[in-house]
Amino acid sequence: MSVPALISGRLPRRGHRVPAADPVLRAYLNEQLAAATGLGEQLRRAATMEVLVAERTTLLRLRREVGADRAALRAAMRRLGASTDWAVVGVSWLSAHAGRVTPLLHRLPVVDRVAGALPAAHPAREAVVEALLVLEDVLGGLHRRAVAARLLGDLVAAERADWSAGVRALAERAERQRDEVEAAHRRCARPLLAH
């Protein structure tokens, strides 16, 4: 069965297997799936930060949207014959959880510099710095998703199946999500810019 036939949504009859995708395409799609998995974890982490409590509803909604986008990507992968490489996805999940340590590594030199410039400890301002770093990681992930989604949209551009419309919409949605997180980042930075 040809890739255009798979993309168009015409699945093989029951008992027929979808041909395996090109190994390079499979690897690329699995990397994107892993990145979406990690992004969902980053958004969850950001939503739990006290300094971002005013942004929590937005961050949790974006996490749900990223989960839906991840499901659209998995559906596209199945249509294209690209099986999920759970080792790649698992490493991404572990990396996202290890990301909890990253602010500690970044925080020490940043907080030392901030604390040295201030007359007394300012834990609220230190929390703002940590939240800004987390949101910047999320912004990087959303930018990557937007770029990759445009490429995937081009891959399925000529297709009219329902699932391909979802893939084509991913880029615009990622850009909107990025704009929302960037606005949250600016609001979070206000205490630092006030001085």
Give yes or no for a contact between 58 and 184, defined as CB atoms under 8 angstroms apart.
Answer: yes
Identity of the residue numbered 125:
R
Question: In the prediction, which pLDDT does 8 show?
Answer: 42
155 backbone dihedrals φ, ψ, rounded to 5°: -60, -35
Write down the residue that tokens 């000529």 correspond to: 158
Residue 166 predicted with pLDDT over 90: no
Give the residue-averaged pLDDT of 27-55. Answer: 93
pLDDT tens per residue across span 5-22: 434 444 444 555 767 778
The torsion defined by the Cα of 112, 94, 133 and 60, in degrees rounded to 10, comes to: -130
- Largest pairwise CA distance in the chain: 72
Tell me the pTM: 0.75
Residue 120 DSSP class: S
The confidence score (pLDDT) of residue 35 equals 92
- Which pLDDT score is estimated for 123? 57
Q: Supply the mean pLDDT for the chain.
A: 81
Supply the pLDDT for residue 159: 73
CB atoms within 10 A of CB 123: 10
Give yes or no for residue 138 having a pLDDT over 90.
yes
The contacts of residue 32 (CB under 8 Å, 6+ apart) are 73, 145, 148, 152
pLDDT at 180 exceeding the cut of 70: yes
Radius of gyration of the chain (CA): 20
pLDDT at 186 over 90: yes
- Give residue-wise pLDDT tens across range 103-137: 555 555 555 555 555 444 555 778 899 899 999 99
